[in-house]
């Protein structure tokens, strides 16, 4: 399988990227950012093409994606204005208030991953590992000494991948009441020192 990993995202891949991201995370965010049609409009609007790493197959189709956060923004964050534009004033207001409970912090000491996803038909082919390796490189080039991500309790497949790559859990946070808005009740923060890359 011919595969290309590169930093950034071509403009014509915004819609496929929004679809891939929503297919991966819609089960967790669907009650807040749904219905599907509006969620796709929202993500196509807000994704930062300079805050991701893409995996393309030999035909040029997007088969994997890894977003990240920096002090200047995140891959799929958006703003209150974006929420209002897609969901209306009241719809944007309550969605924004609920989403704030998931956290929008920037970690100045650790490189933050903002979602990693692979097209279902291409899973098990090492694409996730290649995207992680590219994230390590991106983080190192930006001067970070460790990389951090959050994985929800129900995503055991992803957690197993991260553990194989040397990520260690540092804390688990329960959502409390807002768990009723999401498809999960807790998430675990995992961290991997970049110094381990030389091992």
Domains detected in the chain = 3-198 (3.40.630.30)
For the chain, the average pLDDT equals 90
Residue 196 has pLDDT above 50, yes or no: no
What distance in Å separates the CA atoms of residue 186 and residue 155, rounded to the nearest whole number? 11
Q: How many CA atoms lie within 13 A of 30 on its CB side?
A: 9
pLDDT-based confidence at residue 103 (cuts at 50, 70, 90): low
Q: In whole angstroms, what is the distance from residue 132 CA to residue 124 CA?
A: 14
pLDDT band at 180 (very low <50, low <70, confident <90, very high): low
Averaged pLDDT, 114-121: 94
Q: What is the pLDDT of residue 22?
A: 96
The neighbour count for residue 81, using CB atoms within 10 Å, is: 10
Summarised one tens digit per residue, pLDDT across range 52-78 is 999 999 999 999 999 999 988 899 999
The two beta strands, 111-118 and 186-193, are unpaired
66 close to 135: Cβ distance less than 8 angstroms: yes
Whole-structure pTM value: 0.90
188-199 as b/e, with b when 16 or more CB fall inside 10 Å?
Answer: bbbbbebeeeee
Q: For 91, which DSSP code?
A: H
Q: How far apart are CA 146 and CA 86, in angstroms?
A: 35
The average pLDDT across 109-126 equals 93
Give how far the C-alpha of residue 104 lies from the chain's centroid of Cα atoms, to the nearest Å: 12
Q: What are phi and psi of 110, to 5 degrees?
A: -130, 140
* pLDDT for residue 178: 64
């Amino acid at each position: 399988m011919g595969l290309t990993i590169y930093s950034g995202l071509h403009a014509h891949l915004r819609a496929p990227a929004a679809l891939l991201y929503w297919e991966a995370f819609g089960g967790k965010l669907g009650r807040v950012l749904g219905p599907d049609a509006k969620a796709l409009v929202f993500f196509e609007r807000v994704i930062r093409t300079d805050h991701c790493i893409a995996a393309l197959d030999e035909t040029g189709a997007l088969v994997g994606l890894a977003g990240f956060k920096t002090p200047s923004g995140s891959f799929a964050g958006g703003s209150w204005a974006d929420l209002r534009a897609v969901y209306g004033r009241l719809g944007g207001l309550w969605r924004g208030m609920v989403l704030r409970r998931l956290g929008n912090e920037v970690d100045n000491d650790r490189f933050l991953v903002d979602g990693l996803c692979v097209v279902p038909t291409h899973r098990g082919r090492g694409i996730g590992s290649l995207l992680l390796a590219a994230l390590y490189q991106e983080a190192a080039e930006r001067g970070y000494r460790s990389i951090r991500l959050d994985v929800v309790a129900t995503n055991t497949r992803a957690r197993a991948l991260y553990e194989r790559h040397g990520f260690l859990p540092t804390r688990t946070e329960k959502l409390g009441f807002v768990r009723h808005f999401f498809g999960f009740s807790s998430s675990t923060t995992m961290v991997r020192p970049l110094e381990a890359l030389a091992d």
